[in-house]
């Protein structure tokens, strides 16, 4: 059949080849193809139920779209730049296959509400997949946390040794971050789950359509309430990119720690070899490429969010061609988050932990100084006075090149007469950790209890 544009009757000259290339979206929107077919089938069935299509036409459309689905899934579908985008490629092929019935499918809809629907269907599926990947990574973290519920390591503030914690407790912090990410994605999915189809170009349609029927068939909670908003809204894409960017920030923070921990100066963990690379000239190198690349890709996803915000900021209602630019950043953000979650799931599963190195680091930097101050408070000293006394004790220990736990009792009593022999139980790493036995604390018993609650919440 003719390769003329579906709207070409209005124009006296054909579109230039340069403009065709510049405005074409086929290279990236073809991934919407199966969602487009799914929405078209629901639309056609509704048209038939409303008496707008004949049963003969509906059967032909269903047959043609089924054939197109098979062609796409087998890689045999012939995509054409002449047809501009995924929607017109499918429509053109449908008309080739079933003739006049294919021309009737576009009754009571526009590409504006069509693409808005396809994009929501695609993103809805992507969110479901990503949320499951987040859940898998959370389980991996729980597995490692359970193994290391009592493995002592230094907790840091300002990247300086602060207080002893356990490695299991540290990993549970990332479990919590990812839990919020899953929750945000679920909220995003709920808000986006409204059907645009039926809004047509911007004002609705004069045909007696049943939007609620289409919404039910496609799994939407309800039709969108305003036709102008339905075709022009890209809040759902922006919100997803915001969720994705924050999730990537969480993953990037974890990756930064993996880079630090795997450095020989720390030596806390060893990454599986399959996630690292070597150097072209330094044979000893084992570079943490995957965590480093995840840090870099975080900027890419944040960039997608900024792109969509800027894309929408100056658009009047309703649909504008600018919105063609929404797909590439959205697709890339979803792909990047999906791939990063998948690769980190495997990396965490293969992580090897050096508990001895963690413990040695926790013994540096006077990490039990706060426990010393708390001890003096329990002995009746005001906290600010206890803080000052311990600060002087730390300065003395530093000059003596000894940890607080190795200072003689007489030396410790120089800073407060309230110090007794029981101080040494307080100044041990295990004593410090065990003392923090409350919900959210780092005591091994609390870490294990938190893991049990987390597994129950995940359903695992």
Distance between CA 57 and CA 163 in Å, rounded? 73
Residue 162 CB contacts under 8 Å (≥ 6 apart), including other chains: 154, 155, 156, 365, 367
DSSP letter assigned to residue 404: G
Residue 34 CB contacts under 8 Å (≥ 6 apart), including other chains: 69, 72, 73
Classify residue 251 by burial, with Cβ atoms within 10 Å: 0-12, 13-18, 19+.
Answer: buried
DSSP letter assigned to residue 10: G
Phi, psi of 197 (to 5 degrees): -55, 135
Please identify which of the residues 8, 80, 279, 437 carries the catalytic annotation.
Answer: 279
Strand partners, 161: 156
Contact predicate 210/46, CB 8 Å: yes
Distance between CA 84 and CA 29 in Å, rounded? 10
Distance between CA 69 and CA 54 in Å, rounded? 22
Q: Is 250 a catalytic residue?
A: no
- CA-based end-to-end distance of the chain: 56
Alpha carbon separation from 90 to 120, 170, 303 (Å, rounded): 19, 51, 32
Distance between CA 148 and CA 264 in Å, rounded? 20
Radius of gyration of the chain (CA): 31
Q: Is 232 a catalytic residue?
A: no
Count CB atoms within 10 A of the CB of residue 17. Answer: 9
Alpha carbon separation from 314 to 131, 238, 321 (Å, rounded): 32, 15, 12
Distance between CA 166 and CA 146 in Å, rounded? 11
Distance between CA 22 and CA 33 in Å, rounded? 21
Q: Which two tokens stand for residue 235?
A: 């809040």
Count CB atoms within 10 A of the CB of residue 119. Answer: 24
Count CB atoms within 10 A of the CB of residue 92. Answer: 19
Distance between CA 34 and CA 32 in Å, rounded? 6
Please identify which of the residues 2, 16, 74, 158 carries the catalytic annotation.
Answer: 158
Q: Which two tokens stand for residue 441?
A: 């604390």
Distance between CA 300 and CA 6 in Å, rounded? 36
Burial letters for 50-62: b for 16+ Cβ neighbours within 10 Å, e otherwise? Answer: eebbeeebbebbb
Active site residues: 158, 279
């Amino acid at each position: 059949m003719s390769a003329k544009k579906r709207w070409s009757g209005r124009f006296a000259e054909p579109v230039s080849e340069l403009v065709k290339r510049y405005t074409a979206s086929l290279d990236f929107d073809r991934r919407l193809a199966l969602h487009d077919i799914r929405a078209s089938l629901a639309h056609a069935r509704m048209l038939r139920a409303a008496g707008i299509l004949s049963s003969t036409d509906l059967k032909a459309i269903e047959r043609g779209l089924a054939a197109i689905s098979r062609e796409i899934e087998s890689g045999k579908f012939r995509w054409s730049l002449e047809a501009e985008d995924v929607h017109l490629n499918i429509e053109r092929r449908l008309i080739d296959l079933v003739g006049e019935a294919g021309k009737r499918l576009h009754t009571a809809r526009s590409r504006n509400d069509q693409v808005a629907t396809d994009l929501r269907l695609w993103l809805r599926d992507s969110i479901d997949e990503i949320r499951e990947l987040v859940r898998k990574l959370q389980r991996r973290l729980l597995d490692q946390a359970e193994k290391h519920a009592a493995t002592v390591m230094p907790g840091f503030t300002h990247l300086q040794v602060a207080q002893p914690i356990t490695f299991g407790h540290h990993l549970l912090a990332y479990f919590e971050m990812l839990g919020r990410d899953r929750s945000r994605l679920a909220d995003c999915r709920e808000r986006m789950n409204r059907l645009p189809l039926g809004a047509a170009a911007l004002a609705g349609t004069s045909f007696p359509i049943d939007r609620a029927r289409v919404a039910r068939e496609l799994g939407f909670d309800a039709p969108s309430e305003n036709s102008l908003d339905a075709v022009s809204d890209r809040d759902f894409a922006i919100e997803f990119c915001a969720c994705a960017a924050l999730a990537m920030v969480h993953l990037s923070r974890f990756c930064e720690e993996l880079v630090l921990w795997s450095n020989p100066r720390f030596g806390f963990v060893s990454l599986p070899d399959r996630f690292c690379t070597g150097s072209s000239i330094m044979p000893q190198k084992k570079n943490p490429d995957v965590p480093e690349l995840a840090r870099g890709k975080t900027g890419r996803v944040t960039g997608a969010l900024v792109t969509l915000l800027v894309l929408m900021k100056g658009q009047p209602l309703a649909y504008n061609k600018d919105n063609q630019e929404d797909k590439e950043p959205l697709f890339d953000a979803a792909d990047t988050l999906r791939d990063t979650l998948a690769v980190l799931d495997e990396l965490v599963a293969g992580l090897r932990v050096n508990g001895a190195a963690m413990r040695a680091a926790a013994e540096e930097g006077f990490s039990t100084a706060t426990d010393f101050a708390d001890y003096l408070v329990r002995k009746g000293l005001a906290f600010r006075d206890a803080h000052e006394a311990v600060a002087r004790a730390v300065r003395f220990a530093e000059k003596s090149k000894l940890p607080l736990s190795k200072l003689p009792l007489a030396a410790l009593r120089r800073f407060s007469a309230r110090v007794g022999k029981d101080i040494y139980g307080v100044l041990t790493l295990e004593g410090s950790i065990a003392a923090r036995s409350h919900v959210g604390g780092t005591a091994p018993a609390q870490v294990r209890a938190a893991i049990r609650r987390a597994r129950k919440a995940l359903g695992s």
